[in-house]
Structure 1
Amino acid sequence: MVENAVAPVLELSNIHKAFGGVVAIENFSLDVRPGEIVALVGDNGAGKSTLIKIISGVYAPTSGTIRLDGEPVSMSNATKARELGIEVVYQDLALANQQPVYMNLFLGRELTKGPLKLLDRKAMIDETERLVKELDVRIPSAHATIRDLSGGQRQGIAIARASNWARKLILLDEPTAALGVAETARVEATVAALKQRNIGVLIISHSLDQVFRLSDRVCVLRRGKQIGVRTTAETDKNEIVSMITGV
């Protein structure tokens, strides 16, 4: 359980988002602390992905305040969110399948050397090998081509890339939705290892088993409204299901 004395890395206050006359998010407030995993749960259409897109700069909130390390910020676009230390791993992963692992880890942020700005492949390979070892992502080598990896290995690389660049927060949108049991376990181990890097994690998951394995707290959304937040160790699946369904 994360100590409440630790200041939040992310604070959402009274976030409201409307698309025309349709209210997608209504007066939502939540904080995430360094080294804490918070799960966001709810039925389809509850507003989970909309919230992720607001935090990551894809959508601007209609009203409300976003703070990072206590300072109000404006997420004008996804690039701005990345500059502020926020990384997102979506279900489609956004990996370059024809490229090796180390190039994917530095995609768009390649390391260079010398006056001619040549690619510093050795530095990228060394950093990739260090990071995948630290997060226990089991791949053949940093030279392996993405297309030759399993779904779980690809997801692990996507999370490792986010971990490499995130200074404050990682957002995970259904990271194991398309994976089998064994690969899900490997990805969950990678997510759990993020806590040791003192990065806040907000994860959307349809699996309550996964939520209870990984999260420190659970936030429930229903039809755009925040139903409540529970400390995972102090609740159970029955209560969370009841909050999700309203029954």
Structure 2
Amino acid sequence: MAPILELQQLVKRYGGVQALMGVDLDVQPAQVLAICGENGAGKSTLIKVVSGAHPPTSGRMRLNGREVHWSSPHDALVNGVTTIYQDLALAPKLSVWQNIFIGSEIRRSILPGCHILDKAAMRAQALEYLQRLHQRITDVDRPVEGFSGGQRQAIAIARALRWEARLVIMDEPTAALGVAETAEVLALIQHLKAQGVAVLLISHSMEDVIQVADQVVILKAGRVAARGATAELTPASLAQAVMTGVWPSAPH
């Protein structure tokens, strides 16, 4: 199967600091690929480049086999690459449907050259996106601030579905969440995978990575130090690999 995303010898420099040093990786459709590494390993820089926030210094990035050059996150977004940061970038005072459709509102014509927001269509489609994620949210007029952390993640993911995302980058999605909300977010990741969406997961939680990721890439000092299947690992052996940059020689 052809990768949905390919990075070849990706380099990123900030002045005299080289944050990424020739990173090669690929993400397959319907795959959950986790990126792990200690602070300063290059995880944040990697997602900023893939999401279009920062241009690479050199190297190639291909999406569905086509070389791409993002000039902004919007370029990535309209090409099916969505990033969900830890703060979710939701507008807490706005309703669920307004958050899902912000920047991509549906309009209908009432007179030639005169359009209004089609609120009924957006409400209905918002419910459909949430149902695809097996969410029981039924009041899409309710402000986002009234929902739990796991439900807010679902709303952010529903917004990604609105943009027809084929690759969703999730940056520490379970940070600061309780046990029940963490389980809810991990289930959301599985629902995305079941629908053929690839997920690039950045996480410090070894337990979460083992539970939902198919493979893990370990970054160390801006390089890919190791890569392998999570089926070979336990949370403890993955933590050890993150610290050493060496893949375990045998299953633990």
* TM value normalised by structure 1: 0.94
Which residue of 200, 211, 214 maps to 1:213?
211
Structure 2 equivalent of residue 194 of structure 1: 192
Shift of 1:192: 0.8
- RMSD of aligned alpha carbons: 1.4
Contact kept, 8 Å, 1:17 with 1:25, in 2: the verdict is yes
Establish whether residue 74 from structure 1 lines up as the match of residue 69 from structure 2.
yes
Consecutive unaligned residues of structure 2, counting only runs of 5 or more, are 246-252
Query: So what's the TM-score if we normalise by structure 2?
Result: 0.92
**Aligned equivalents of 2:78, 2:129: Cα separation in 1:** 21
Structure-2 residue corresponding to 1:112: 107
Percent identity over the alignment is 43
Q: CA deviation at 1:140?
A: 4.6
Which residue of 2 is the match for residue 3 of structure 1? none
Among 151, 172, 179, the residue aligned to 2:177 = 179
Q: Which residue matches 2:248?
A: none
Structure 1 distance, partners of 2:236, 2:143, is 43
* Residue 168 of structure 1: aligned partner: 166
CA distance in 1, matches of 2:20, 2:134: 36
**Using the alignment, how far apart are the partners of 1:187 and 1:86 within structure 2?**
19
User: 2:120 is aligned with what amino acid?
Assistant: K
Distance of 1:224 and 1:60 partners within structure 2: 16
- Please give the residue correspondences for 1:34-45 in structure 2 after superposition, counting only pairs within 5 Å: 34-45=29-40
Which residue identity is paired with 2:129? L
Whole-Å Cα distance in 2 between the matches of residues 140 and 124 of structure 1? 13
My pick for the range that moved more, 181-190 or 134-143, is 134-143
Residue 239 of structure 1 and its aligned partner are, at CA, apart by 3.7
Partner of 2:84: 89
Measured after TM superposition, the shift of residue 154 of structure 1 is 1.1
Q: How far, CA to CA, are the matches of 2:48 and 2:73 in structure 1?
A: 9
Letter matched to residue 243 of structure 1 = A
Structure 1 CA distance for aligned equivalents of residues 138 and 125 of structure 2: 15
Structure 2 CA distance for aligned equivalents of residues 129 and 144 of structure 1: 12
Determine the C-alpha separation between the residues in 2 that align with 1:75 and 1:212: 31
**Structure 1: runs of 5+ lacking an equivalent:** 1-5
The aligned residue for residue 149 of structure 1 is 147
Number of residue equivalences: 242
For 1:7, give the aligned amino acid: A
